[in-house]
Amino acid sequence: MRTVFARMGRPLEMGLKTALAGVAEIAASVLVVVAFTTLVLLVAGAPPLDTFAVLVKGSLGSWSKLSHVIKVWIPLTLASCGLLFTFKAGLWNIGVEGQVMMGAVATTLAMRMGGPSPLAGMVTALALVAGMAGGALWALCAGFLKTKAGVHEIFAGLGLNFVSQGLVLWLIFGPWKQPGIASMSGTETFDERLWIPSIEALNLSPAALGMAVAAVIVTAYLLSSTRLGLYLRAVGGNEKAAVLFGLKPHAVMTAAMLCAGGLAGLAGAFQVSGVYHRLIPAISSGYGYLALLVVLLAYYNVWAAPVVAFFFACLNTGAIQLPMLLSLDSSLSGVIQGSMVIAALAVHSVSTRSRRSRG
C-alpha cells in the first residue's frame, strides 16, 4: 500500500507553509461545514446536537447498522471509482445514474435468462459481468455522442438517464412484470440461489465487499501507475496540448467512459443481486448522483473517495432514525450532504484563489 501511496505523484516533501495552509483549509472547511449544516438544521426546526447524535447512533451504533452502511457503501464506492476516470479526463459524467440503472437491467436480464440452475453461482457471476457490460455500453453511448456528434456529455448523460429510467419502468410494467400483476413495485424476486452470497450472521457479503475494495485499488493503480492514467490526466489537463503529444483525446475519453460505465454498471448489478434481489423503479437509489458529490467532496482523490462514500453511507443509513426518534423528515440527510459539499467546495475555491493571488 505504501508504494501505491508513494506513486500517487504528490511530492511528499510538502513545505511547512503549505502544510500549515492545508491544515488551516481543513479547519476552515470543517468549521464552515458544521456551521452551515447547523444553520440548515435550525432553519428546518431540528435540534442540531440531537440530530447529529441520532445520525451517528443510527449508522455506527450496532453491527447490524454498520452492515447496512456497508451495503450502501459498496455501490456508492463503485460508482465513485468509475467517476474518477471520467473526472480525470475532464468529463462530467452525469450519465453515471443511467449507467447504474443499465447495469441493473443487464444483470436482471442475465439472471432471468440463467435462472436458478445448479450452476446458480455461475449465473450470478456472469450476471455481474453483464451488469458491467450494460453500464459500459450505456456510457459508450454518451461517449460517442460527445466525440462523434459533439453533444456535451452533461446533456447526453442527462438525456440518457431519462431514457434508462423510462426503460426500467417499461420493463417492470411490461415484459418483465410479475405474472397476473401489473405493478410499479418491481419484478419478481429472484431465487435465493441467485443472490450474491453473504454471511448471514454478519449480514455481509465478502464477495461484494471484496469487489468494492478491489475497485478502489485497481482504480488507484490504473490512475497513478499506468499509461491510461497518464493519458487521462493529459487529456483532462489540456486537450489541445495532449494532441501535440500525439494523444487521441477522443479515444482516451471513450476509454474513460468505458471504465466509468463498467464500474457504475457493477454498482447497479450489486443493487439487483445484493440489495433488492429484483429490479425496481428506483433501482439506482440515486447513488450515481450521490457519487458525483462524493468525488467532488473527495476532490477527485482516489483514497479520499471511499472515506467520503463511507461518511455519506453513514448519513444515509442514520437518517432513517430521524423520523423514528425526532419526527424529522429523513430527507434532511440529503440537505446535510448537499450543504457539506457546497461548503467544502466554497472553502477550497476561496483558499485556492487566495493562494494564487499570494503566489
Partner 1 sequence: MNKRLVFVSALVLIVLSPFVPRLAVAATKPYVFGLLLVGPYNDKGYSQAHYEGGRYVEKTVPGTKMIYIDKVNPSDRPGVTIVQLVDDMVEKGARLVIANSDDMKDGIREAARKHPNIHFVHVSGDDVLTGKAPSNLVNIFGRMEYGKMMAGFAAALTTKTGKIGYLGPLINEETRRLASAAYLGARYAWEKVIKRNPNDLTFQVTWIGFWFNIPGVTADPSQVAKNFYDSGFDVVISGIDTTEAVMVAKQKVNEGKKVWAIPYDYVGACEGGSSVCLGVPYFNWGPGYASLVKKSMSGHWKPEWIWLGPDWKDINNPATSTVGFMVGDALSQEARKALKDFIAGLASGKVQLFKGPLNFQDGRVFLKKGEVATDRQIWYLPMLLQGMKGASSQAK
Distance CA 297, CA 269 (A): 25
Assess 304 for contact with partner 1 (CB under 8 A): yes
CB of 25 to partner 1, least distance (A): 7
Distance CA 289, CA 302 (A): 17
Distance CA 75, CA 59 (A): 17
Closer residue to partner 1 in complex, CB, 51/147: 51
Selected binder of partner 1 within 40, 44, 53, 125 (CB under 8 A):
53
Assess 39 for contact with partner 1 (CB under 8 A): no
Say if CB 93 and CB 86 are below 8 A apart: yes
CA distances in angstroms from 317 to 36, 67, 302, listed in the order given? 21, 10, 23
Closer residue to partner 1 in complex, CB, 124/317: 317
Cell output for 61 = 451504533
**Binding span for partner 1 by CB under 8 A among 66-74, 111-119, 140-148, 349-357:** 66-74
**Binding span for partner 1 by CB under 8 A among 95-103, 185-193, 232-240, 262-270:** 185-193
- Side-chain-side CA neighbours of residue 161 (13 Å): 19
Say if CB 315 and CB 337 are below 8 A apart: yes
Closer residue to partner 1 in complex, CB, 231/311: 311
CB of 199 to partner 1, least distance (A): 13
Nearest CA among 301, 271, 255, 243 for reference residue 111: 271
Assess 255 for contact with partner 1 (CB under 8 A): no
Assess 164 for contact with partner 1 (CB under 8 A): no
CB of 320 to partner 1, least distance (A): 6
Strands of 186-278 (E only): list them. Answer: none
According to CB under 8 A, which residues from 106 to 135 bind partner 1? none
Distance CA 218, CA 263 (A): 11
Assess 215 for contact with partner 1 (CB under 8 A): no
Phi, psi dihedral angles at 69 (to 5 degrees): -60, -45
Cell output for 168 = 426500467
Q: Which helix (H) or strand (E) holds 292?
A: helix 287-297
Selected binder of partner 1 within 151, 159, 165, 351 (CB under 8 A):
165
**At 64, which amino acid appears?**
S
Distance CA 104, CA 161 (A): 13
CB of 266 to partner 1, least distance (A): 16
What is the DSSP code (8-state) at residue 277?
Answer: S
CA distances in angstroms from 207 to 27, 71, 204, 237, 358, listed in the order given? 37, 12, 9, 36, 50
According to CB under 8 A, which residues from 326 to 355 bind partner 1? 330
Assess 26 for contact with partner 1 (CB under 8 A): yes
Selected binder of partner 1 within 12, 43, 149, 244 (CB under 8 A):
12
Selected binder of partner 1 within 36, 57, 125, 225 (CB under 8 A):
57
CB of 144 to partner 1, least distance (A): 27
The residue ranges that bind partner 1 (CB under 8 A) are 5, 8, 10, 12, 14, 22, 25-26, 29-30, 33-34, 49, 52-53, 56-58, 60-62, 64-65, 68, 71-72, 165, 169, 173, 177, 179-186, 189, 200, 203, 275-278, 280-287, 297-299, 301, 303-304, 307-308, 311, 316-317, 320-321, 323-324, 330
